[in-house]
Amino acid sequence: MKRWTGLIGALAIVVGGGAQAQDTIKIGSLFETSGFLAFLGNQGLEGANLAVEEINASGGIDGKKIDLVNFNTESDETKAVIGVKKLIERDKVVALIGAMNSGSTFSIIDIVQRAGIPIVSNGASRAISTPVNEKKWVFQAPLTDVLVINVLIDHFKEKGIGKIALNNADSGFATSGMKQWQRIAPERGIDIVIQQTYGNNDPDMTPQLTNIRAKSEVQAVVQWGTGKGQAIVAKNYRQLGIDKPLYYSHAASDPNLIKLAGDAANGIIFPTSKIAVVDELPDSDPQKKVTANFIEKFKAKYGRGPATFAGNGYDSMIMLADAIRRAGSTDPAKIRDAFEQTVDYPGVTSVYTYSAVDHYGAQPEGVALQIIEDGKIRLYK
């Protein structure tokens, strides 16, 4: 028996620590504050915490304060499964927000569906909330690739661009982007003349870009990826002297791109949310006030400017609180129904409209084309 005393002790620790009475509204979040996506999860959590502070400072929801319980999923799918069970069962949360990682969200969809708890995911893969009839409890708040691809194609139509080259990484984000481009572009009359894939950690993308350069009929090059690969592509693109316009995904709103690529980043055009260009927005823009307020409060609380992902966390929390207020109840089913009826909600990341057939919410008018000029992000005009 001597060997098992330790085991029993450990079990006792796990069993201990029960529920407590609540006059607060408990919301669970699954942001990854460690692991390989910690840089996203930390920002998401900061945004969500800011939203909670704001809501509680103005009296909470019907007098009840929000209590946000975060479970750090460590960017790990197995951990996400453990975490969502803990939040639902131990903390008795009425709704969930997070994970930034699409994989972590995929791994818990079954559980939230069965438990009947609404989740507002910040994962960007559109398959998270489709098909809607099978994902009744799952909503998404970030910009999805389908949305920004359509914004880019609208722009191509306007400019008379019909033939493009697509260069993408082999990461989850970029693979999903590639698949959507290959599906949407032909439908909308855009011809992808050549498609090239590079490894996410490759140190040099000259081979792919040389192949693209060889196709003289290409009118514009579209680059889809995240992280330092984007900067390498920009540098290689300029080194090879390709003179066609270069378009990036919404992942280009990453300060590291400008830092790493330097002058090579100038001229890159990309569609994304309006955080970086809020000063240039017309006053008529419904997001201007919300976004300016968010940036100001974020700077006051954390002493630095917010990135896109902080906006995702903030939006999810604010919209969820709004849904609880409208539902007039903390019953998860009523919160879900109310969330689904969110219409034209101006958030930081986008303008959101959800419906029974659309659980990704973000609308095209939330996206603005932006360009890097002299190492600064400006509104593209």
Partner 1 sequence: MKTPLALVCLLIVPFLGSDYLTNLLIVVMLHALPAIGVSLLMGYTGQISLGHAAFYGLGAYGAAAFSVHGGGDPWIGIALATFLVGVMSSYLGWVIFRLRGHYLAVATLGFGFIVNIAFVELRDWTGGPNGLPGIPPLDIPILDLSFHTDGTFFYVAWVAMILAVVMAQNLVNAPVGLVMRGIAESERAVSSLGNDVTSLKRKILVISAAVSAASGGLYAHYIGYISPQPFAIDFSIKLVVIIAIGGFRSIPGILFATLFVTVITEPLQELGYYDVVVYGLFLVVIIAYMPQGLLQGAYGLGRRMLSGARAPAGAGR
Site for partner 1, rule CB under 8 A: 1-4, 6-7, 10, 13-15, 33-34, 38, 42, 71-72, 74-79, 81-82, 85-86, 88-90, 102-103, 106-107, 109-110, 125, 127, 170-172, 175-176
Closest approach, Cβ 216 to partner 1, in A, equals 30
Backbone dihedral region of 204: left (phi > 0), alpha (psi from -120 to 50 degrees) or beta? Answer: beta
Closest approach, Cβ 176 to partner 1, in A, equals 6
Closest approach, Cβ 87 to partner 1, in A, equals 9
- Token readout for 261 is 């690529």
Closest approach, Cβ 49 to partner 1, in A, equals 13
Query: Residue 106 or 380: which CB sits closer to partner 1?
Result: 106
Query: Residue 71 or 247: which CB sits closer to partner 1?
Result: 71
Closest approach, Cβ 328 to partner 1, in A, equals 29
Query: Residue 38 or 333: which CB sits closer to partner 1?
Result: 38
**What separation, in Å, do the N-terminal and C-terminal C-alpha atoms of the chain show?**
75
Query: Taking a C-beta distance cutoff of 8 angstroms, is the pair 137, 336 a contact?
Result: yes
Strands across the sheet containing 246-248:
191-198, 163-169, 220-224, 246-248, 269-272, 368-373, 376-379
Query: Residue 89 or 191: which CB sits closer to partner 1?
Result: 89
Query: Taking a C-beta distance cutoff of 8 angstroms, is the pair 366, 273 a contact?
Result: yes
d(C-alpha 183, C-alpha 178), whole Å: 9
Closest approach, Cβ 36 to partner 1, in A, equals 9
Query: Residue 113 or 219: which CB sits closer to partner 1?
Result: 113
Give the DSSP letter string of 126-153.
Answer: GGGS-SGGG-TTEEE-S--HHHHHHHHH
Query: Taking a C-beta distance cutoff of 8 angstroms, is the pair 103, 93 a contact?
Result: no
Give the residue among 73, 87, 9 at the shortest CA–CA distance from 41.
Answer: 73
Query: Residue 143 or 246: which CB sits closer to partner 1?
Result: 143
